[in-house]
Amino acid sequence: MTTTVPAPPRSTAPAVLDRIESVTLSSVTLPLPSPISDAKVFTGRQRPMTEVAFLFAEITTEDGHEGVGFSYSKRAGGLAQFAHASEVAPDLIGEDPSDVGRLWTKLVWAGASVGRSGASTQAIAAIDVALWDLKAKRAGLPLAKLLGAHRDSVRCYNTSGGFLHESVEQVKDNATRTLEQGIGGIKIKVGLPDSAEDLRRVRAVREHLGDGVPLMVDANQQWDRPTAMRVSRRLEEFDLVWIEEPLDAYDAEGHAQLARSLDTAVATGEMLTSVAEHAELIRHGAVDVLQPDAPRIGGITQFLKLATLADVADLQLAPHFAMEIHAHLAAAYPREPWVEHFDWLHPLFNERLETRDGRMYISDRPGLGITLSEQTRAWTVDRVTVGAIR
């Protein structure tokens, strides 16, 4: 007679590989070398930008693994991000850092009464990025490789040399230096109250660059629908890669009308603060080049969801700002993307991304491949640690 011994019930609890021991949050103010003006300043909607507020999250685990991530705010919002992150971070202590998606949801619910977009999820973004950095470091892989890279470099273009507070001659000089640094494309700002001046500046830069250099323009949401249609049609003669933010970021229908009417690609999305908002652009057919910003939409977890939607819709991808994060995410996008080069963030990190032959190269350093500089520590205006301190 054979006796069958029933197997013990299988545990439904997930295996725990490690536990979060501490989370350190730092509010850092990055001063800009000179006040920055785009079209929003010239239309009276904003003051020149003199600094950028950063929220850094540094996570350590019981097994000694570490991850670093960041979010940011231009002009107002940095204090709100720091305050919200400080409130929800205690909910991470003792959690397994591998469960990044579950932890994102947990933190959203911890602050559910203030919503799932804007400052609250931008605060969570810094933590989410740190968790992904930690995960890739523990695997010994650059983040792009962990995600599944399609390439080891991405096309890149520069924006920081093309603002409206500088003369067109200075913008041309900036463009020349940019190309000499191995960056492949140039973006300049438009959207002035006098559209004739916009056209004069674009013409001057295009003639300076010649026909072979990729050129983009960015109106920073400062045109109404008739102006956007009229000026964009005039801009088509300059063989632009795209026309960026011609309309208010939330005007999906207006962007769709432009996209249907122009031969030049329409790009937008950087000012949106959730996957759901981007999904509306996609649903309306309002964009040719989607420009999400991982720190603005809640981090890498949310960016990956959006990237899948963009790929299914056959869209080009050109993430906004934060190239230290976006180079990895763009490298993992199936279609050839663009990444925006900004030199403003150089003082924050000890490492530099390599640019040559028009491309930005993913380093072989694990994770994001960045460490915080001593200057970042010096610019820290507030700091809090939850959990154990080693």
Which residues form the catalytic set? 189, 320
Q: Are 22 and 93 in contact (CB under 8 A)?
A: yes
First to last CA, the chain: 60
- 74 annotated ligand binder: yes
Q: For residue 142, give both structure tokens.
A: 């650059």
For 339, list phi and psi in degrees, rounded to 5: -125, 140
- 220 annotated ligand binder: yes
Q: Are 318 and 267 in contact (CB under 8 A)?
A: yes
- 39 annotated ligand binder: yes
Q: How far apart are CA 310 and CA 303, in angstroms?
A: 10
**Range 246-251 contact pairs with CB under 8 angstroms and sequence separation of 24 or more:** 246/219, 246/221, 247/221, 247/223, 248/221, 249/221, 250/277, 251/225
- 354 annotated ligand binder: no
- 244 annotated ligand binder: yes
Residue 226 CB partners (closer than 8 Å, separation 6+): none
Q: Are 279 and 313 in contact (CB under 8 A)?
A: no
- 149 annotated ligand binder: no
Q: How far apart are CA 271 and CA 252, in angstroms?
A: 13
- 314 annotated ligand binder: no
- 38 annotated ligand binder: yes
Helix, strand, coil abundance in the chain, percent, nearest 5:
40, 20, 40
Q: For residue 183, give both structure tokens.
A: 């960056």
Q: Are 373 and 347 in contact (CB under 8 A)?
A: yes
- 340 annotated ligand binder: yes
Annotated binding site for substrate: 38-40, 74-75, 187, 220, 340
Question: Residues annotated in the binding site, as ranges?
Answer: 38-40, 74-75, 187, 218, 220, 244, 270, 340
Binding-site annotation: residue ranges for Mg(2+): 218, 244, 270
